[in-house]
Amino acid sequence: MKAHDGMYIDGAWRPAAGRDTIPVVNPADEQVIAEVPAGGAEDVDAAVRAARAALPAWAATPPAERAARIAALRDVLVARKDEIAETVTAELGAPLPFSQAVHAGVPVLVAGSYAELAASYAFEEKVGNSTVYAEPVGVVGAITPWNYPLHQIVAKVAPALAAGCTVVLKPAEDTPLTAQLFAEAVHEAGIPAGVFNLVTGLGPVAGQALAEHDGVDLVSFTGSTAVGRQIGATAGAAVKRVALELGGKSANVILPSADLAKAVGVGIANVMGNSGQTCSAWTRMLVHTSQYDEAVALAAEAAAKYGDRIGPLVNAKQHARVRGYIEQGVAEGARLVAGGPEAPREQGYFVSPTVFADVTPEMTIAQEEIFGPVVSLIRYEDEDDALRIANGTVYGLAGAVWAGDDAEAVAFARRMDTGQVDINGGRFNPLAPFGGYKQSGVGRELGSHGLAEYLQTKSLQF
């Protein structure tokens, strides 16, 4: 695969300060497909300086002009969508149709939404005898994970640019090629030099240097709770703005009046897409005791049908981790009804679509984020019991509720401690705020709420 051997800083590809590189591995066959430079503090510093130097002019660029540049970026993402999908498939392992529809498709929607929002947002408001201005926070340090490699970049960079901020991105070490493609797209879109900068590298080196840099005004992080906690502490000590999009253990609540077959089928597909590597996946399926056995049979059948259509996990570490969780589920007394801990293929980091029945709410597999193709079916006695189980983890990112009518589902959803709930299979909305309650994070991404994260207010009194 094509790779740049430098960093994209101040509008050009520049050699890295050091000689270290990161191998990029295709998780489907374990072959090294490229090498990218492993940046360090010096590279981060150069990128932050470029972002700071570009800030005054970009912040002063009229919103309509910023909108036009973001629209141009969207157009490049459309023109290069096949290349994007192939790159994501090569370094993440997602099956090509999923990469085309989701990994390449969703960023186009999100970039398009920010082209529109940049043009229409009220950056100025009259409040009594005051005028309130929404001004860019400044230089953004964006740190992204590998599971939706382009979406997570666009969900930070597009609103930051719409707000008038400049950005330094440190993408995940597993998926740097998608990030390099994005940098090319920024360049092609005519976004001025220094407004967006890319430093590839390792989290504890380049990521930490970026989070700690004095020249960064806001850190936006998506990834594990452990690293998020650390970044939040660093940002707190420096009185720096921070947005954290962390893990989840979301509940798919099937009320007795629901269409059971549909709710189970969509629920299994929701987890298996992207091999379970989705922070908002509904990994706990909550079923009324009267329908439990039927739901178990349906779930096992749906998972078995998934079979070979599932991609591998991203790397050897995640492969070992997920298989470890499956073994732990068995050891704690859950019943395997599909899949299991054995690797289904000799090569590649594959795990079979796995379904556990007889899972109790306190089991490890019902509490911790597995980040693999594993669904736990949990039995409830009545609605209050279902609510207690749904809310009974440290997380609160997403969820689903199924019922005979939307009103019944909405009444339940309003009692859930979570940031996003799909009602009876509701569709993805790129304008809906996305983010967590409880330990799932701080702040929101997408739509106008996502834009507001990158703005600070100034009021003038007359």
Instruction: Point out the residues that are catalytic.
Output: 245, 279
**How many other C-beta atoms can be found within 10 angstroms of the C-beta atom of residue 254?**
26
Q: Give the contact letters, 312-341, x = binds to ligand NAP (CB under 6 A), - = no.
A: ------x-----------------------
Task: Tell whether residue 208 is a contact of ligand NAP (CB under 6 A).
Answer: yes
Q: With contacts defined by CB under 6 A, name the span among 221-229, 326-334, 377-385, 404-412 that binds ligand NAP.
A: 221-229
**Nearest distance, CB of residue 244 and ligand NAP, angstroms:** 9
Task: Tell whether residue 247 is a contact of ligand NAP (CB under 6 A).
Answer: yes
Window 361-380: residues binding ligand NAP (CB under 6 A): 369, 371
**Nearest distance, CB of residue 459 and ligand NAP, angstroms:** 34
Window 398-427: residues binding ligand NAP (CB under 6 A): none
**Nearest distance, CB of residue 4 and ligand NAP, angstroms:** 18
Q: What is the DSSP string of 147-169?
A: SSHHHHHHHHHHHHHHHT-EEEE
Task: Tell whether residue 246 is a contact of ligand NAP (CB under 6 A).
Answer: yes
Task: Tell whether residue 45 is a contact of ligand NAP (CB under 6 A).
Answer: no
- Which residue number, 112 or 232, has a Cβ lying nearer to ligand NAP? 232
- Which residue number, 164 or 228, has a Cβ lying nearer to ligand NAP? 228
Task: Tell whether residue 207 is a contact of ligand NAP (CB under 6 A).
Answer: yes
- For residues 207 and 176, is the Cβ–Cβ distance under 8 A? no
Chosen residue from 67, 179, 216, 227 binding ligand NAP by CB under 6 A: 227
- For residues 353 and 339, is the Cβ–Cβ distance under 8 A? yes
**How many other C-beta atoms can be found within 10 angstroms of the C-beta atom of residue 104?**
26
Residue partners of 242: CB distance under 8 A and separation at least 6: 218, 219, 220, 221, 231, 232, 235, 236, 442, 443
**Nearest distance, CB of residue 209 and ligand NAP, angstroms:** 8
Q: For the chain, what's the residue count?
A: 462
- Which residue number, 162 or 219, has a Cβ lying nearer to ligand NAP? 219
**Nearest distance, CB of residue 290 and ligand NAP, angstroms:** 33
Window 165-204: residues binding ligand NAP (CB under 6 A): 170, 172-174, 202-204
Output DSSP code: residue 427: P
- Which residue number, 173 or 453, has a Cβ lying nearer to ligand NAP? 173
Bridge partners (DSSP) listed for residue 166? 139
Q: With contacts defined by CB under 6 A, name the span among 80-88, 239-247, 405-413, 421-429 that binds ligand NAP.
A: 239-247
List the one residue out of 310, 321, 308 whose CA is nearest residue 273: 310
Q: What is the DSSP string of 102-135?
A: IIIHHHHHHHHHHHHHHHHS--EEEETTEEEEEE
Task: Tell whether residue 118 is a contact of ligand NAP (CB under 6 A).
Answer: no
Task: Tell whether residue 109 is a contact of ligand NAP (CB under 6 A).
Answer: no
- Which residue number, 27 or 164, has a Cβ lying nearer to ligand NAP? 27
Element (DSSP H or E) covering residue 140:
strand 139-143
Q: Using CA atoms, how far apart are residues 115 and 136, in angstroms rounded to an integer?
A: 16
Chosen residue from 10, 43, 91, 245 binding ligand NAP by CB under 6 A: 245
CA angle 221, 222, 226 (to 5 degrees): 90
Task: Tell whether residue 393 is a contact of ligand NAP (CB under 6 A).
Answer: no
Element (DSSP H or E) covering residue 260:
helix 260-272
Window 121-150: residues binding ligand NAP (CB under 6 A): 143-147
**Nearest distance, CB of residue 249 and ligand NAP, angstroms:** 10
Query: Phi-psi region for residue 333, left (φ > 0), alpha (ψ -120 to 50) or beta?
Result: left
Q: Using CA atoms, how far apart are residues 121 and 404, in angstroms rounded to an integer?
A: 38
CA 90 → CA 1, 71, 133, 208, distances in Å? Answer: 8, 27, 44, 27
Window 262-291: residues binding ligand NAP (CB under 6 A): 279
Tokens of 339: 């899949």
Residue in the shown chain whose Cβ atom is closest to ligand NAP = 203
Q: Using CA atoms, how far apart are residues 253 and 230, in angstroms rounded to an integer?
A: 32
Task: Tell whether residue 222 is a contact of ligand NAP (CB under 6 A).
Answer: yes
**Nearest distance, CB of residue 40 and ligand NAP, angstroms:** 12
**Nearest distance, CB of residue 419 and ligand NAP, angstroms:** 12
List the one residue out of 426, 430, 425 whose CA is nearest residue 447: 430
Tokens of 48: 């932050």
CA 43 → CA 48, 208, 265, 295, distances in Å? Answer: 9, 12, 47, 53
- Which residue number, 263 or 397, has a Cβ lying nearer to ligand NAP? 397
- Which residue number, 49 or 151, has a Cβ lying nearer to ligand NAP? 151
Residues forming the site for ligand NAP (CB under 6 A): 143-147, 170, 172-174, 202-204, 207-208, 211, 222-224, 227, 230-231, 245-247, 279, 318, 369, 371
